[in-house]
Amino acid sequence: LNITPVPKWALITVAVAGAILLLLFLICIVKCCCSKKKPKKKERISLCAVSNSSTTNLVQPEMEDLEWEVEQKRRGKLQYSLEYNFRIQELKVGVKQAVELKAMDSGGTSDPYVIVYLTSDMRKRYETKVYRKTLNPIFNESFTFQVPQAEVSESTLVMQVYDFNRFAKHDIIGEVRLPLASVNLQHVIEQWSDLAVASKVEEEHLGEICFSLRYVPSTGKLTVLILEAKQLKRMDSNGLSDPFVKVHLILNRKKWKKKRTSVKKNTINPYFNEVFVFEVPFSQIQNVDVVISVWDHDKVTKNEPIGKLFLGCRATGNQLRHWSDMLSNPRRPLAQWHILQPPDVVDKALGLKSHLKLPLHSR
């Protein structure tokens, strides 16, 4: 300091000023650090207010899950009744009505009908009539099952609501499964149940068949065109079948006329496209049943039936609808797919009399 020509007071001033600048610099650093932390704290507090997609995914459930839950609630409700007669061991099931059914068609409606069966004997199943373009059908149909009292607790009543489709597979809207063991059958029961998703436990599938019907009243000609079948039951050891189709005409519950298609080898999806013409006077059309049966051909053993169905005024469900549509549209061919049913169930429903031939000749 003695050598430096600068006055002592100036040096002291410079030192003080440097100290002040250093202090200000340190204060700025501290403020910067604090200001960086504060937004993070605010962000944590206001996270729910942020509306971007990434944040929403963190705080909200998946929209697909919500849509799935809503979808389950939109299948509708079914009203039904149950009455068990202990004396004759008979269960009477009444299918009353349905409301707010799920719309299955593009027009916002459905063509519903109900299939009713018991798990203890799935071969016996009933169908209600089909109701066109409605989500609130009134069925008011009843069906009777012979159920021994000992088997009641082991049976489950299944009522499945389907959407009818003439040219494609019928879509299931929903079902009600009611274990009879959980029901007090000492009294008549009438109640509503929500339709649930159909169970994946399916009964034996025999296959489906598509054919066309045409009737001309003026000439009395009934034309049956067997088109094709699909997903037939596998009858042979190689996992296939050799199917052919029989067409029987029943008049007044007696066998009358019959014809058959050719045999299609090694297939469960045969294509026939074979036409048969029967002469049925208009005066007899109300008394005729048309039985369509699919068989598996076997050269060594007896031919085995795969499945059957019948149409006519005594039929029910889709078969009755197809027959009614044919009569309502004379001279117009109407094609439709049908689900094959167990042969013994169809035979019992037909209730054929003795096989006496009538003095009428097939052509």
DSSP state letters, 231-257: SPPP-STTS---EEEEEEEEETTEEEE
3-class secondary-structure state, position 265: coil
Query: Within a 10 A sphere around the Cβ of 155, how many other Cβ atoms?
Result: 19
Q: Which of 113-117, 229-233, 256-260, 298-302 has the lowest mean pLDDT?
A: 298-302
Please give the distance of CA 227 from its chain centroid, rounded to a whole number: 24
Question: Among residues 194, 229, 253, which one ends one of the domains?
Answer: 194
Average pLDDT of the chain is: 82
**How does pLDDT run across 242-264, given as a tens digit for each residue?**
999 999 999 988 888 999 999 99
Provide, rounded to the nearest whole percent, the portion of the chain with pLDDT above 70. Answer: 82
> Is 212 a domain residue?
yes
Find the range with the poorest average confidence among 37-51, 59-73, 138-152, 338-352.
37-51
The proportion of the chain whose per-residue pLDDT surpasses 90, expressed as a percent, equals 50
Q: Which of 169, 194, 219 is the last residue of a domain?
A: 194
- The answer to whether residue 37 scores a pLDDT higher than 70 is no
Structural element, H or E, at residue 293 = strand 288-296
Q: Which domain holds residue 94?
A: 75-194
Q: Are both 185 and 247 inside the same structural domain?
A: no
Residue 359: its pLDDT value, please? Answer: 45
218 & 181 share domain: no
| Residue 68 placed within a domain | no
CATH code for position 346: 2.60.40.150
Give dist(CA 217, CA 199) in Å, integer. 45
- Same domain, yes or no, for 167 and 241? no
pLDDT of residue 200: 60
Report yes or no on 164 lying in a domain: yes
In a domain, 15, yes or no: no
Residues 257 and 149 grouped into a single domain = no
Q: Average pLDDT, stretch 5-11?
A: 69
Whether 25 maps to a domain, the answer reads no
Query: Nearest 5°: CA angle at 327, between 321 and 330?
Result: 135
Would you say residue 103 lies in a domain? yes
Please state the domain count of the chain.
2
Whether residue 340 contacts residue 294, with contact meaning beta carbons closer than 8 Å, is answered with yes
Q: Say yes or no to pLDDT of 344 above 90.
A: no
User: How many angstroms separate the CA atoms of 51 and 33, rounded?
Assistant: 28
Q: Which residue has the tokens 């044919």?
A: 326
Same domain, 119 and 174: yes
Q: What is the pLDDT of residue 356?
A: 43
Same domain for 296 and 253? yes
Q: Looking at the structure, tell me whether residues 215 and 343 fall in a common domain.
A: yes
Are the CB atoms for 118 and 124 separated by under 8 Å?
yes
Backbone phi, psi, residue 299, to 5°: -75, -35
Considering the domain architecture, whether residues 217 and 326 belong to the same structural domain is answered as yes
Angle, CA of 91, 180 and 76, to the nearest 5°:
95
Q: How far apart are CA 326 and CA 278, in angstroms?
A: 15
Average pLDDT over residues 159-184: 89
pLDDT band of residue 106 (cuts 50, 70, 90) is confident
Any domain includes 320: yes
pLDDT score of 123: 66
Whether 242 and 268 map to the same domain: the answer is yes
Tokens of 136: 């609130």
For residues 184 and 218, membership in a common domain is answered with no
Whether residue 156 sits in one domain with residue 229? no
pLDDT value at position 45?
35
Burial of 221 per CB tally in 10 Å (0-12, 13-18, 19+): middle
Residues 228 and 165 in one domain: no
- 66 inside domain: no
Domain boundary among 154, 170, 194: 194
- Per-residue pLDDT, 43: 40
Report the pLDDT value the prediction gives residue 70, as an integer from 0 to 100.
52
pLDDT classification of 325: cutoffs 50, 70, 90: very high
DSSP 134: -
Report d(CA 266, CA 241) in Å as an integer. 5
Among 230-239, 243-252, 277-286, which is the least confidently predicted range? 230-239
